[in-house]
Chains A and B, each alone.
Chain A
Amino acid sequence: MDTTPIINNFKSEEYQINMGPQHPATHGVLRLLLTIDGEIIKKVEPDLGYIHRSIEKMCERDSYQQIVHLTDRMDYLSSHINNEAVCLTVENALELEIPERVKVIRTIIAELTRIASHTLWWGVMGMDVGALTTYFYGFRDREMINDIFEETCGARLTMNYNIPGGLMFDIHPNFVKRTKEFIAHFKTKLPEYDLLLSNNIIFRKRMEGIGILTKEDAISFGASGPVGRASGYSCDVRKHHSYSAYDKVKFNEVLKTEGDTYSRYQVRVLEMWESLSIIEQLIDNIPEGDFFAKTNAVIKLPEGEFYQKVETARGELGVYIVSTGTKNPYRMKFRSPGFSNLSLLNHIAVGGKIGDLVATMATLDLVIPDIDR
């Protein structure tokens, strides 16, 4: 008589589903090939390239002023910071003396951009775990920042406010007033975020203890930004390789040690408070002076290799230029935060449920054009 338990005669079979390229949770045209067993994730294979526009190749064709405009379209939610990265690289290569006013304004706008990006992320984060109301709360506050940007440079998202050597225009007379209004407004609204989502019991249960990334893994996968800092990896470029006016302000690098989805969530929410404090310190002391340093109409970088990294809302963005002394770069390379952050998805999502994958992916805060470029 066969004595093997009946249960062994049943096999659970793995099957594959395509999450994306058209899927609400991938926030763009990312395709994830999931191997799942029932609800359990066995393997996640990201398939990239659906929005690849060969920005790096296009950069080899364009002049340095033009390249700045291309970088908007990478991580469109931190477009100002992307612009800044290219400008800083070019300015360092030319050894230009940048007016203090430019540095301070760049820093203020970069921090506003970071808040705008994080509020959008917060809204979408809530939506990914099923709380649709957060989306509108996030967008309400982001709208005020976008209005400030619109008044400053005419654009709301892809700003192009930076040029190599400084800024395109001086700030609008209302800039300081409206930014202060925003700070006052946002300080009353940020606690609301915690009331609505952070302290919700269902949300906590969904987020805590899933998608755990250890510090060692964070470093070996090249995680940066809030993803790295939630695992206790101190990787804030603003702190460690200060640029623009970040050496003049006091701010804390938000660090968490748990490395789970909830700590990544917390890092971003706390970072909004830090950004507010940075803006507060700078907004009253914008130095007088020129808003650009004079450059030649045709910028030619000296021969050599130049690298500059900045902290975007998603992490460390590196710009690497190889110049042969002409008006175009010989080779241009962007080290984008999203790409390295996506690479660890398989590592932390395996073993979780489909719902966990969505929550984990939301806290990686992926912007697909940033990954594909």
Chain B
Amino acid sequence: MNITKNIHEWLFSLMPETTASIVEMVLIAVVYLAIFAVAGLYLVLLERRVAAWFQLRLGPNRVGYQGLLQTMADALKLVSKELTGTLKADKFLYNLAPYFVIVTALMAMSLFPFTKELHAFDINIGIFFLIAISSIGVIGILLGGWSSNNKFALIGAMRSGVQTISYELSVGLSLLTMVLMTGSLQLSQIVEVQEKGGWLIVQGHIPALIAFCIYMIAGTAETNRAPFDLVEAESELGAGFHTEYSGMKFAYFFLAEFINMFIIASIATTVFFGAYLSPFGITESIPLLGVFWFLGKTLLLIFLMMWFRWTFPRLRIDQLLVLEWKYLLPLNLMNLLLMALMVLLGLTIQF
């Protein structure tokens, strides 16, 4: 990481320490923002191509090589569009809502360890912070749906509230199950444990696998994607909570959905699949390849979520709640107990 080190030294030689660190923080933030805006756009393209693959069609392949510029063009179109809104909307909240969603999505991105060095923000309550941040995003959806002054949007927003409150529990508990093995909420610590003893999903075998399944189900529900896309449910509510949004404000919601998907997959990669660690340590000598492994695993999990979306029908709202409160939550609690016993008795697999 010579480049970053050089920039760091150059900045600190140029100005006083406080100013330099602030400038450095802003620089990092801007880089992250740019990367994830682009990542969001390309996830949209990936989704469209994957959907096309499932649906016997080609998907966007005309703008640029294999459609690589398609979503860029779409984003440009959305930026240049007129922002329309309802007359009787609560203007302040209506305008605030998209930022809530996008900012929280981007904040969560800063935590992930892409390699050992490429890790912007490593706090000791990492997992807790991620869960907290991702649940703030739903406030944006609630605000947007409520302030639009549209009944369809309101129904969508209320569904979203119910859904997120319920599935938050499963996400939290399934991650907690894994934290039992690491003994730390800090992401770098979690990876360190996996570096020594193998990926957590192997270490924890049965309970870890159950936790992973629950996490993927709950994570899909957290991001409001099919089969849990009741918030938007186009055949029921038109467009759900973002019915009244247009142009770039709509695009914020849209991009946030994809970045959230990336976050959910990244958390799973970090906690279950050893983040930037390569399988059997084949490329540990080249640290930069960690980025490749991290993104590769994340994209595989994202593909899994896309697979869900293009195969399953949507659940009904009461079935959604029954699934969480009657099945996933009790299973999760038992799983937590099982994992605790396993850790206590030393039944985990260690390499």
User: Across the two chains, which residue of chain B brings its CB closest to A124?
Assistant: B235
The answer to whether A136 and B318 have CB atoms under 8 Å apart is no
For B311, list chain A residues within 8 Å (CB).
131, 133, 196
Alpha-carbon gap, A196 to B312, bound state (A) = 8
The answer to whether A39 and B317 have CB atoms under 8 Å apart is yes
For B319, list chain A residues within 8 Å (CB).
202, 205-206
Alpha-carbon gap, A15 to B230, bound state (A) = 20
Interface size class of A (residues with CB under 8 A): 20 to 34
Contacts from A to B (Cβ < 8 Å): 15, 17, 23-25, 39, 126-133, 135-137, 140, 196-197, 200, 202-203, 205-206, 353-356, 358
Contacts known (A24-B234, A133-B54, A140-B56); A353 close to B318, Cβ less than 8 A: yes
User: Across the two chains, which residue of chain B brings its CB closest to A17?
Assistant: B151
* Contact among B152, B235, B318 with A129 in the assembled complex (CB-CB below 8 Å): B235
Contact mask B81-117 → A, CB, 8 Å, 1/0? 0000000000000000000000000000000000000
In the complex, 14 of the A-B residue pairs with CB atoms within 8 angstroms, ordered by the A residue number, are: A15-B151, A17-B151, A39-B318, A127-B235, A130-B229, A131-B311, A131-B314, A132-B310, A133-B54, A140-B56, A196-B311, A200-B312, A200-B313, A202-B315
Alpha-carbon gap, A215 to B330, bound state (A) = 41
Alpha-carbon gap, A190 to B226, bound state (A) = 25
For A131, list chain B residues within 8 Å (CB).
311-314
Q: Which of B51, B234, B236, B237 has the most CB of A within 10 A?
A: B236
The answer to whether A129 and B314 have CB atoms under 8 Å apart is yes
The answer to whether A126 and B313 have CB atoms under 8 Å apart is yes
Alpha-carbon gap, A203 to B226, bound state (A) = 13
Contact mask B247-283 → A, CB, 8 Å, 1/0? 0000000000000000000000000000000000000
- State how many residues of chain B have any CB contact under 8 Å with chain A: 28
- The interface residues of chain A, by DSSP majority, are classed as helix
* Contact among A25, A136, A140, A197 with B313 in the assembled complex (CB-CB below 8 Å): A197
Contacts known (A39-B155, A130-B229, A355-B233); A23 close to B313, Cβ less than 8 A: no
Alpha-carbon gap, A75 to B128, bound state (A) = 57
Task: Tell me, yes or no, whether B55 is within 8 Å of chain A by CB.
Answer: yes
Task: Tell me, yes or no, whether B316 is within 8 Å of chain A by CB.
Answer: yes
Total cross-chain contacts (CB, 8 A): 79
Contacts known (A25-B236, A355-B236); A203 close to B55, Cβ less than 8 A: no
Q: Which of B55, B57, B318 has the most CB of A within 10 A?
A: B55
Alpha-carbon gap, A202 to B311, bound state (A) = 11
Closest 3 CB pairs of A and B: A130-B314, A136-B55, A131-B313
Task: Tell me, yes or no, whether B144 is within 8 Å of chain A by CB.
Answer: no
Alpha-carbon gap, A129 to B313, bound state (A) = 6
For B315, list chain A residues within 8 Å (CB).
202, 205-206
* Contact among B57, B155, B234, B317 with A136 in the assembled complex (CB-CB below 8 Å): B57
For B235, list chain A residues within 8 Å (CB).
24-25, 127-130, 358
For A136, list chain B residues within 8 Å (CB).
55-57
For A25, list chain B residues within 8 Å (CB).
235-236
Contact mask B207-229 → A, CB, 8 Å, 1/0? 00000000000000000001101
Task: Tell me, yes or no, whether B67 is within 8 Å of chain A by CB.
Answer: no
For A126, list chain B residues within 8 Å (CB).
313
The answer to whether B56 and A130 have CB atoms under 8 Å apart is no
Query: Which chain B residues (145-199) contact chain A, with CB distance < 8 Å?
Result: 151-152, 155
For A202, list chain B residues within 8 Å (CB).
227, 312-315, 319
- Return A157 CB to nearest CB of chain B, in Å: 21
Alpha-carbon gap, A315 to B227, bound state (A) = 32
For B151, list chain A residues within 8 Å (CB).
15, 17
- Return B52 CB to nearest CB of chain A, in Å: 9
Alpha-carbon gap, A24 to B152, bound state (A) = 13
The answer to whether B234 and A355 have CB atoms under 8 Å apart is no
The answer to whether B56 and A353 have CB atoms under 8 Å apart is no
Q: Which of A129, A140, A203, A358 has the most CB of B within 10 A?
A: A129
User: Across the two chains, which residue of chain A brings its CB closest to B151?
Assistant: A17
Contact mask B40-51 → A, CB, 8 Å, 1/0? 000000000001
Query: Which chain B residues (19-61) contact chain A, with CB distance < 8 Å?
Result: 51, 54-57
- Return B139 CB to nearest CB of chain A, in Å: 21
Alpha-carbon gap, A39 to B152, bound state (A) = 11
Alpha-carbon gap, A113 to B315, bound state (A) = 32
For B57, list chain A residues within 8 Å (CB).
136
Alpha-carbon gap, A129 to B235, bound state (A) = 7
Contacts known (A25-B236, A127-B235, A140-B56); A355 close to B312, Cβ less than 8 A: no
User: Across the two chains, which residue of chain A brings its CB closest to B311?
Assistant: A133
Alpha-carbon gap, A355 to B321, bound state (A) = 14
Alpha-carbon gap, A200 to B227, bound state (A) = 12
The answer to whether A355 and B155 have CB atoms under 8 Å apart is no
The answer to whether A355 and B55 have CB atoms under 8 Å apart is no
User: Across the two chains, which residue of chain B brings its CB closest to A135?
Assistant: B55
Task: Tell me, yes or no, whether B296 is within 8 Å of chain A by CB.
Answer: no
For A140, list chain B residues within 8 Å (CB).
56
* Contact among B51, B56, B229, B312 with A137 in the assembled complex (CB-CB below 8 Å): B56
For B316, list chain A residues within 8 Å (CB).
205-206, 353, 355-356
User: Across the two chains, which residue of chain A brings its CB closest to B159?
Assistant: A39
- Return A339 CB to nearest CB of chain B, in Å: 23
User: Across the two chains, which residue of chain A brings its CB closest to B314?
Assistant: A130
The answer to whether A354 and B155 have CB atoms under 8 Å apart is yes
